[in-house]
């Protein structure tokens, strides 16, 4: 996978452009808003399917820990709906969300 950071190092306008294999695709993700308990990003996929989605990380303090909720939403084109009939998208994408959250946890615990 190839990637390139653009814009500021952090906060709104910070972006990552990527190009990978058929499993990753091609696109970009950029921070739209960053607050202490919520980070909002815009994901623009180019390949394998064109799509624009809003990604949100919600952070809720829970004692000495923080509960992180990672959500993604946006319009679903016909082809995505058709694929969803034959494939369990929650199962497919859920693994990526779980791996991403586990990686975030490790980095946060390292300090």
Rounded CA gap, 29 and 40, in Å?
A: 10
3-state secondary structure of 95: helix
pLDDT, one tens digit per residue, over 60-70 is: 999 999 999 98
pLDDT digits (tens, 9 = 90+) for 60-110: 999 999 999 988 888 876 666 666 666 666 676 778 778 888 888 898 888
**Left, alpha or beta for 97 (phi > 0: left; psi -120 to 50: alpha)?**
alpha
| pLDDT value for 108 | 84
- Using CA atoms, how far apart are residues 41 and 74, in angstroms rounded to an integer? 12
pLDDT computed for residue 36 by the predictor: 93
14-18, 31-35, 65-69, range with the lowest pLDDT? 65-69
Q: What average pLDDT does range 18-34 have in this prediction?
A: 91
Tell me, what DSSP letter sits at residue 76? -
* DSSP class of 48: S
Q: Where are the alpha helices (DSSP H) in the chain?
A: 78-86, 89-110
């Amino acid at each position: 996978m190839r990637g390139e950071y653009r814009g500021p190092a952090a906060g709104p306008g910070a972006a990552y452009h990527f190009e990978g294999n058929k499993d990753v695709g091609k696109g970009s993700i950029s921070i739209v808003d960053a607050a202490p308990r919520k980070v909002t990003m815009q994901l623009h996929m180019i390949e394998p399917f064109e799509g624009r989605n809003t990604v949100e990380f919600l952070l809720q303090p829970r004692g000495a820990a923080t509960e992180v909720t990672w959500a993604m939403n946006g319009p679903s084109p016909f082809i995505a709906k058709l694929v969803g009939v034959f494939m369990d998208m929650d199962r497919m994408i859920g693994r990526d969300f779980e791996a991403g959250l586990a990686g975030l946890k490790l980095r946060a615990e390292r300090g």
